[in-house]
Amino acid sequence: MTPKEIVRAFVDAHNDHNVEAMMDYLAEDSTMIDVAAPIPLNSKNDVRKLFTLIFSSLNVHFEITGMISEGSKVFAALRTTGTGTGNWAGRDVRGLQFDVFESMFVDTENGKMTTVMFYSDTASLSKQLGNYAPAIDMQSGVANIM
């Protein structure tokens, strides 16, 4: 797979809320971080926990609105939409809708994503999901980061 195909497959698995399929596209020692709320996820298990938590609270969908690549690196512009289905950041967000723009910068190696940096509009997302504090002090490996 090309680097763009890897990112598209990861996004497709995300949109299916298929965490295990998402893991297929991550290297064992991959790092994922959202630069707006720095939570270094230094293993596939950390990423698995985060997306399991997200999908238990939000019916979220990524739409790739643009993608460019150079060598092993990919930048994807995303429109992120969805509806709250549970508790997020300590708040009941059921029925609340969100629509924000994000992006992801990905480095790949040997057919896997090794580094993923999300750039998220957490301020807008916060407002749309009940005004939670967008920059929460989180550490990877914490059992319940929300």
- pLDDT at 135 (0 to 100): 54
CATH of 3-128, one of 3.40.120.10, 3.90.1150.10, 3.10.450.50, 3.40.1190.20: 3.10.450.50
pLDDT of residue 12: 98
pLDDT, position 114: 95
Distance set, CA 72 to CA 66, 94, 104, 105, 130 (Å): 17, 39, 14, 11, 38
Below-70 pLDDT ranges, the chain: 36-39, 133-146
- What are the sequence ranges of the domains in the chain? 3-128
The one-letter amino acid at 26? L
3-state class of 13 per DSSP?
helix
113-117 own/partner pairs: CB under 8 Å, 24+ apart:
113/6, 113/7, 113/10, 113/25, 113/26, 113/27, 113/30, 114/27, 114/29, 114/30, 114/31, 115/30, 115/31, 115/32, 116/26, 116/30, 116/31, 116/32, 116/33, 117/32, 117/33, 117/34, 117/35
Per-residue model confidence (pLDDT) at position 2: 97
- pLDDT recorded at residue 141: 46
Q: What is the pLDDT of residue 121?
A: 86
